[in-house]
Structure 1
């Protein structure tokens, strides 16, 4: 099993827009896990930018190589060349182009970029020292949407496709001592072979949307480290080194606060697996007590540090067990979009905390579905810190090209990059492989391949997918053929919004499933324009009153589903969606948020908050009763 895990990791490569992933043709770029906690030089800040709608920086007008006049990445100062040679011709000059602050989508660069789809070039200079002997320098991108080519000092160093996962390149030999020029081409256009395909229900935030940094590591370093608590009460580690001396190297895992230490030796591939009994003093991570431990992985000159929580998650019958106890997931869905009238997907710590605080404290929640793609590691780390359970997914969404091997390769690469980045986040309990996909043999085969990958990469978490149900009269049946492959069933249901049902009738809808498995209502919701009120007996859709009543009635329906173990209604905040164009109520925004784009609470927010408050109190009471029983058992003499 572990050999398969690392074959998958090593086989993931770049997938250019419209191009296939050659899974065995070249090794994967560095995984560089926990890079955000390593010492690094940030390249965030001012960058020059320029659009290239016809992509002539990639090819001439006859399709050949671009000439000097359009070659955006060339390492020359254009103004100097023009002064020295009056006959020189350039169709660009990135060094005198406008400036934008990165990370952040180009939507915010200028008003005319609001709906731009295509290629944009970025460039900046930075100072660097030559890497010292025995060191390597990695250039890491948190994410760039969607297809990216990176050039350093006039030479291409790598490509990546997929707008939501990190990628890194070894630039040790490409760096110069002194001033270096980095040029990045980011193309937001997607094809039917991409993940997601072009048609979605959210904004395409093209550009460099997460941090860029230079990370220095030893020549042989810890590239991947996965530390977790197993269901049999052990702390397990799977470590992979990268470098010339990766084989036969001693690797040590330490958790100082627990006085825990165990070690071993890597095999020929640089991989080591080890475990030790969990110390009795270990405090398990939970939403009520999100305990994190400084954890160190030491291998020769390299020490990788991370903050890790230890907990278990499993399914028993139709229950979800966190640390062995049944839990109800009081959640909501969330897009990666900061509060404000003009978001640019700049998910800073402050922006992420503002949204997660609304969920944790405002809604009395313990769970968030990060839809519909991998969110920033800023968000997942904060979920660890704040105590929010997480559903993480990739955008296998709607119109996927199920029969296209390029689409499958893109999905597998993205899933691998997502899992490898976040396997140490205690908050993540669910990996989701799809959202609202139509049933069919090609689709089933596609998703089963992804499910197999997930189980090979991470057998410590649960697998789910947001499915659709079949309704006849007042009976909704969950009969998707993927049911046997999933740990947790999840259903998106919008009765009363995308149907003509009267809201008063919603509590009469019952739910059936042929499997004894837990169910999550992964989506339900109704849109409302904040501040628009209709207090009549039959309130108008898009009014706050309609949305609030929709939530009351849907929650009544949910309370009658005996195997329901969680909810993540759609959605915490109004978010940008170009497909939503009603001139009065939408204006390019999906209005199903419980708060507006600027953070104003709608009436339905309080409805859900009160429901979750009651559920939280009931859960706390049950926990207290369990504690009393455990205390009584300790006081009872043993015979």
Structure 2
């Protein structure tokens, strides 16, 4: 039933307007890499056929060397509209393009966009030729040095049309499609409690007619079965060539709250624009009503109850594809995280695709979303405006998603030497409060006590004690000292992690060669066991997110025997291997019975003696080595460890049997011991 409900909610987004046509433009594109004279485009360029989404860095951006192509790419496509479309408003909406984009139609520049990852739309109505082919050209650049964030970051800056393109046809009076790439409708949750919800709707209605138009704008809230719960109507005269914000307020008694994973209930909201007896536009979307707070001592509180946010950080990126991923791949990545038991995802380090937020809403997974203001800034007004536009686009495009609880304005902004970032962070923090007074601002800090950390409402720390510095055991001491020094500040861990190659192994927890090529998987496991213990003892940590869910491309890296890859993921870049640490979180966060033998890929043993470590949340577990039962010691966090065992020369069979009620589970591995004699 839950799957059916999730499907219906997603369809509600996809079929958001019955009175505006949205046509996918992802097929039939041609691509050419390099700088080209637009007037000589067809003669100069060597075109290849591609479909969107697309990046030109899918391979060179993940192979190491920090030498991937950063420059210009051109996209070309034919666009046809017949005479029946005359009189409509025609828009092109780009899901995202990295990072500087120019759009031409029939040789005329119709618009430019500075910034990657956010959607943007252009009104192409004045430039369209009907009943003939139109030539659409898009120039995209990810060149180094553009005054666009990010200037510097620990991931590859994949160039291209990394998300899809839509053609949108609307009537001349319509809900605007040009408000920073948003859908033009916003619901502010002014006051919510268990007993009452007060909501403010705003719809931005645009009139492109030469005359004023009298319109009736209806605002509706429906139960998820479609039954109308509340409806209001506003009659307005919309002046020609203007966009007018129309508002309405709702009071709902005893609202059915969106309650995270336990009960992600979504109402259906709709706005209809009517002229005379004709509905000329409408927009329908799910609506989750909830209230929350972040407390310096109690952490995150959802609907009046403690709700510690525990999860992962996620890059939107895939092997050989970079950022040019499909919705199917987005769903797969989120499903693995949810199966691990996470209730929270930090969507790093930029706005992700629309599907991700819709899906998190339907699952009840809370998220932090942020802008790509990372490491350093340019001290110019142009750069600051581009940062503001990116943040404003992020907020307006994602305003209605109940899964989003904070707006992130920066990540590790003090990391690289350069201009003082504090004035820019203050400017972005102010913008968050102007755009959305209902959600806190936040940032992720590398240095825990810089002045920038005190600007936003809450903040979190990127900590790597036990990896780049200090020891794993010191993370708890660090958190306590910070909490004691700043008792009124809400703090968390926005990143913590350690690298791991799934086929590198060692006996014991000796520290890896951090900057070299020895990143044994067992050390990552040890790292996360220590961190989770510290986290669970400190309820004041409002959010904690493992760095990262998946290994990801960072072409400047050369470590862990995987050039071009940051290997701190709980799952490998190709999604084929869940590392041991993944199962450690699963056994602690997902109540479903499980048993898992660690170091299963440590198959070639060179020492005759070892021990077995496994994870299980079952009532009883039996461990056998070559058919003989081995005693187990139960430790905290669902860890079970054997004493020292002796391997025989050759093949060794390790088997774990777990029992929970009438259910039996098992896990088996094979280890080989080759004697040196």
TM-score under structure 2 length normalisation: 0.74
CA distance in 2, matches of 1:36, 1:147: 30
Residue in 2 that maps onto 1:625: none
Cα pair 2:62 2:554 within 8 Å, conserved: no
CA 1:468–1:98: 2 relative to 1, 3 Å? closer
Within the alignment, does 1:184 sit opposite 2:138 as a pair?
A: yes
Residue in 1 that maps onto 2:432: 454
CA 1:468–1:615: 2 relative to 1, 3 Å? farther
Within the alignment, does 1:310 sit opposite 2:286 as a pair?
A: no
Shift of 1:545: 0.3
CA 1:305–1:526: 2 relative to 1, 3 Å? same
Residue in 2 that maps onto 1:238: 202
Shift of 1:555: 2.1
Structure 1 counterpart SS, 2:127: coil
The one-character-per-residue Cα deviations of 1:109-141 (angstroms, maximum 9, x if unpaired) are 999999221011111113322364652110110
CA distance in 2, matches of 1:317, 1:606: 30
The one-character-per-residue Cα deviations of 1:526-563 (angstroms, maximum 9, x if unpaired) are 00012221123525351110000011112233234352
Structure 2 counterpart SS, 1:410: helix
Residue in 2 that maps onto 1:635: none
CA 1:447–1:432: 2 relative to 1, 3 Å? same
Structure 2 counterpart SS, 1:107: coil
CA distance in 2, matches of 1:554, 1:194: 35
CA distance in 2, matches of 1:112, 1:592: 15
- Aligned counterpart in structure 2 of residue 396 of structure 1, from 370, 373, 388: 373
- Aligned counterpart in structure 1 of residue 312 of structure 2, from 311, 322, 332: 332
CA distance in 2, matches of 1:104, 1:170: 23
- Aligned counterpart in structure 1 of residue 57 of structure 2, from 92, 98, 107: 107
CA distance in 1, matches of 2:533, 2:164: 43
Residue in 2 that maps onto 1:262: 232
Residue in 1 that maps onto 2:382: 406
The one-character-per-residue Cα deviations of 1:289-330 (angstroms, maximum 9, x if unpaired) are 222232211122111122222222333454322222221001
Cα pair 1:387 1:427 within 8 Å, conserved: yes
- Aligned counterpart in structure 2 of residue 610 of structure 1, from 587, 593, 598: 587
CA 1:358–1:112: 2 relative to 1, 3 Å? closer
Write the mapping of 1:117-156 to structure 2, written as runs, cut at 5 A: 117-130=70-83, 132=85, 134-156=87-109
Give the stretch that moved more between structures: 241-250 or 522-531: 241-250
The structure where strand makes up a greater share of residues is: 2
The one-character-per-residue Cα deviations of 1:351-381 (angstroms, maximum 9, x if unpaired) are 01111111112x2111101101111111111
Residue in 1 that maps onto 2:657: none
Structure 1 counterpart SS, 2:346: strand
The one-character-per-residue Cα deviations of 1:208-241 (angstroms, maximum 9, x if unpaired) are 0111111011112112110243324212212211
Unaligned 5+ segments in structure 1 are 1-33, 59-67, 73-77, 79-89, 470-477, 617-639
Shift of 1:415: 0.4
- Aligned counterpart in structure 2 of residue 436 of structure 1, from 403, 412, 432: 412
CA 1:163–1:36: 2 relative to 1, 3 Å? farther
Shift of 1:436: 0.8
- Aligned counterpart in structure 1 of residue 540 of structure 2, from 555, 560, 563: 563
Cα pair 2:315 2:552 within 8 Å, conserved: yes
Residue in 2 that maps onto 1:160: 113
CA 1:111–1:383: 2 relative to 1, 3 Å? closer
Cα pair 1:530 1:595 within 8 Å, conserved: no
Within the alignment, does 1:211 sit opposite 2:190 as a pair?
A: no
- Aligned counterpart in structure 1 of residue 491 of structure 2, from 475, 497, 519: 519
Structure 1 counterpart SS, 2:51: strand
Structure 2 counterpart SS, 1:447: helix
- Aligned counterpart in structure 2 of residue 591 of structure 1, from 530, 552, 567: 567
Within the alignment, does 1:292 sit opposite 2:273 as a pair?
A: no
Within the alignment, does 1:532 sit opposite 2:504 as a pair?
A: yes
Unaligned 5+ segments in structure 2 are 1-12, 177-183, 275-279, 514-518, 594-677
CA distance in 1, matches of 2:308, 2:400: 23
Cα pair 2:88 2:172 within 8 Å, conserved: yes
CA distance in 1, matches of 2:541, 2:341: 18
CA 1:101–1:134: 2 relative to 1, 3 Å? closer
Cα pair 2:92 2:168 within 8 Å, conserved: yes
CA 1:464–1:123: 2 relative to 1, 3 Å? same
Structure 2 counterpart SS, 1:195: coil
CA 1:302–1:206: 2 relative to 1, 3 Å? same
Write the mapping of 1:619-630 to structure 2, written as runs, cut at 5 A: none
CA 1:168–1:538: 2 relative to 1, 3 Å? same
Write the mapping of 1:337-486 to structure 2, written as runs, cut at 5 A: 337-338=317-318, 341-361=319-339, 363-401=340-378, 403-438=379-414, 442-469=420-447, 478-486=448-456
Give the stretch that moved more between structures: 485-494 or 130-139: 130-139
Cα pair 2:99 2:141 within 8 Å, conserved: yes
Give the stretch that moved more between structures: 205-214 or 177-186: 177-186
Shift of 1:520: 1.7
The one-character-per-residue Cα deviations of 1:23-74 (angstroms, maximum 9, x if unpaired) are xxxxxxxxxxx7984431111023111122xx3426xxxxxxxxx4x3x2xx
CA distance in 1, matches of 2:450, 2:321: 37
The one-character-per-residue Cα deviations of 1:236-283 (angstroms, maximum 9, x if unpaired) are 212211224688643221123252112335587511222111143534
CA 1:310–1:505: 2 relative to 1, 3 Å? closer
Larger Rg: 2
Count of equivalent residues: 537
The one-character-per-residue Cα deviations of 1:427-449 (angstroms, maximum 9, x if unpaired) are 11110001112299941111011
CA 1:615–1:579: 2 relative to 1, 3 Å? farther
CA 1:350–1:467: 2 relative to 1, 3 Å? same
CA distance in 2, matches of 1:110, 1:482: 35
CA distance in 1, matches of 2:126, 2:85: 11
CA distance in 2, matches of 1:146, 1:495: 34
The one-character-per-residue Cα deviations of 1:451-487 (angstroms, maximum 9, x if unpaired) are 1111111112121100134xxxxxxxx4333455333
